[in-house]
Amino acid sequence: MNNETNLKSLVKEKYSAIARSEEDGCCGAGLCCGESGVNLMADDYSRLPGYAPGADLGLGCGLPTELAAIREGELIVDLGCGAGNDAFVAARLTGTSGKVIGVDFSEPMIARARENATKLDVQHVEFRLGDIESLPVASNTADLVISNCVLNLVPNKHRAFSEIFRVLRPGGRFCISDIVVERSLPAKWKEVAELYAGCVSGAILKEQYLSIVREAGFLEVGVRVEKRIHVPIETLAKYVDPDDLEAQQAKGSGILSITLTGSRPAKDDRNCCEPGSGCC
């Protein structure tokens, strides 16, 4: 698990298994739930228009669709769409004059999202199989990019945010919920597959994360919501050495859920090329 390919394979395998399961994803993974089975990270979507319970696998850590100021007729791209939870909420808000493109690199997740779209008879949502580091979306087309607790799982976050910049039209914006940390986690934690696939050890420092976003060229980058995530000791004890666990618990988890927004400049003076050229 020491290179990007292995990490991607791990994440794909884990989330494909969740897609095939009848359980919700987070508690099904056993990582972000306490002994009571209560989801520790996901927010309550039930009050949002367009919410479809069958598409909610409990994999999120925020409500990006609530804070994105979605307008009727917009083209929206949902990164790591899963079974379609955020995509269906966005589709209700953008209306039939708009469109939502959901992207996920897990074939079973895309299949489940498409099944949900058929059941709900939502025709202005399209689900595409693809990698966030090389999005199957045309350049300069999206009004808005959303994502919910996914980019922390992407090994190359520089490339991911460059891709977000590319697909947004000039003046477009993003609203992303994600997991970050206040300080570096113990090295051993990063070697545990369950911790990575569960969004914990894949997270990077908050300031490093924001720096990557700004380096990609985005303006007005800011954290709109921040909340502390407490992972119960009984959950971490399944995966972490007792000495490491005791030391980390004494400091507090240091794990945060943030929802951030930003925008692509209306005029881009960077003279960037298309993906794959290596100039961005």
What confidence score (pLDDT) does residue 274 get?
52
Which run of H or of E encompasses 76?
strand 75-79
Cα distances from 40 to residues 133, 139, 276, in angstroms, run 28, 36, 38
As a residue count, the chain comes to: 280
Q: Using CB atoms within 10 Å of the CB of residue 118, give its burial: 0 to 12 exposed, 13 to 18 middle, 19+ buried.
A: exposed
Q: With pLDDT > 90 as the criterion, what percentage of the chain qualifies? A: 59
- CA 270 to CA 280: how far, in whole Å? 9
**β-bridge partners, 257:** 179, 227
What confidence score (pLDDT) does residue 271 get?
55
> Would you say residue 212 has pLDDT above 80?
yes
Written as six digits, the tokens of 7 are 């990490």
What confidence score (pLDDT) does residue 6 get?
82
What confidence score (pLDDT) does residue 268 get?
59
Highest mean pLDDT among 34-43, 63-72, 244-253: 63-72
* Domain 4-263, CATH class in plain words: alpha beta
What confidence score (pLDDT) does residue 200 get?
76
Lowest mean pLDDT among 29-38, 80-89, 181-190: 29-38
What confidence score (pLDDT) does residue 267 get?
79
- CA 276 to CA 280: how far, in whole Å? 9
Amino acid at 274: E
- CA 23 to CA 230: how far, in whole Å? 22
> Would you say residue 34 has pLDDT above 80?
no
Phi, psi of 243 (to 5 degrees): -65, -45
> Would you say residue 49 has pLDDT above 80?
yes
Of 145 and 199, which is predicted with more confidence?
A: 145
The 3-state DSSP class for residue 175 equals strand
What confidence score (pLDDT) does residue 84 get?
97
Highest mean pLDDT among 198-202, 208-212, 234-238: 208-212
Question: For 160-171, b where at least 16 C-beta lie within 10 A, e where not — what string?
Answer: bbbbbbbbbeee
What confidence score (pLDDT) does residue 226 get?
96
What confidence score (pLDDT) does residue 4 get?
79
> Would you say residue 220 has pLDDT above 90?
yes
Amino acid at 4: E
> Would you say residue 162 has pLDDT above 70?
yes
